[in-house]
Amino acid sequence: NAGVTQTPKFQVLKTGQSMTLQCAQDMNHNSMYWYRQDPGMGLRLIYYSASEGTTDKGEVPNGYNVSRLNKREFSLRLESAAPSQTSVYFCASTSTSGSQNIQYFGAGTRLSVL
Amino acid sequence: QKEVEQNSGPLSVPEGAIASLNCTYSDRGSQSFFWYRQYSGKSPELIMFIYSNGDKEDGRFTAQLNKASQYVSLLIRDSQPSDSATYLCAVGGGADGLTFGKGTHLIIQP
């Protein structure tokens, strides 16, 4: 049981390049999330998908797009990377049935944009 | 704008003592409260969650919630060096994600 799997673990991009961060969960969760974490800033929500077929903006969506490919997979795309997008990106998922709404996190993707 | 405030620390506590971590939040409608532990270079790991006013205990950890004061705390009894980490307070109410504080860096001194 892998939980939440993110790929790649590390990536270096040049300004203007594009890339897609992949996330998959095997817990049959309804909701999935993308956060970024910068030094001293905590985690900030980029986009989320409350259920398959829906996506919504979070606190810091500018410069990103997402796709909820199916119930398991939620990808984050940077169309034209900027140095300000250097960060650690975490994907998370949660089951919205019941009252717990506990989020489980992947191992993260460390992205550097030069 | 929902906000969650934590003292960034570092908070230094002797081994075996009680570590007390605090958090305040701005959204009175918040229903779920979480404490995550994050080691350097790792992902957040859930330690405790609490939904009702009062105390909730799990082993050496106790979470306390006071909705009237919009205050959440985490107590760690018999602190161990392995408890040294950053502790993130998170608040949420539904499928639209959690709002995180910036974290408190805890150091347990042997």
- Check residue B42 and give its pLDDT: 94
Contact A105 B92 (CB under 8 A): no
Contact A96 B95 (CB under 8 A): yes
Contact between B23 and B34 under an 8 Å Cβ cutoff? The reply is no
Question: Rounded to a whole number, what is the distance in angstroms from the first to the last CA of chain A?
Answer: 36
Contacts of B103 in chain A (CB under 8 A): 42
Which is nearest to A42 in space by CA: B79, B89, B74, B47? B89
Encode burial over A26-63: b for 16+ CB neighbours within 10 A, e otherwise: eeebebbbbbbbeeeebbbbbbbbbeeeebeebebbee
> How much of chain A, in percent, has pLDDT values that exceed 70?
95
Q: Give the count of Cβ contacts less than 8 A between chain A and B.
A: 60
Cα-based torsion angle of the residue sequence A106, B95, A56, A27 in order, rounded to the nearest 10 degrees: 40
The number of beta carbons lying within 10 Å of the beta carbon of residue A96 is 14
Q: What is the mean pLDDT, run by run of 10 residues, along chain B of 110 residues?
A: 90 97 93 94 93 94 96 97 96 83 95
- Using left for φ > 0, alpha for ψ between -120 and 50, and beta otherwise, residue B95 falls in alpha
Contact B100 A43 (CB under 8 A): yes
Helix (H, G, I), strand (E, B) or coil at A61: coil
- Check residue A40 and give its pLDDT: 79
Asked if residue A47 has pLDDT above 60, the reply is yes
Reading the block at residue B91, the tokens are 């608040």
pLDDT digits over A10-42, tens only?
999 999 999 999 999 999 999 999 999 998 788
Nearest CA in chain B to A5: B43
pLDDT digits over B29-39, tens only?
888 999 999 99
- Check residue B29 and give its pLDDT: 87
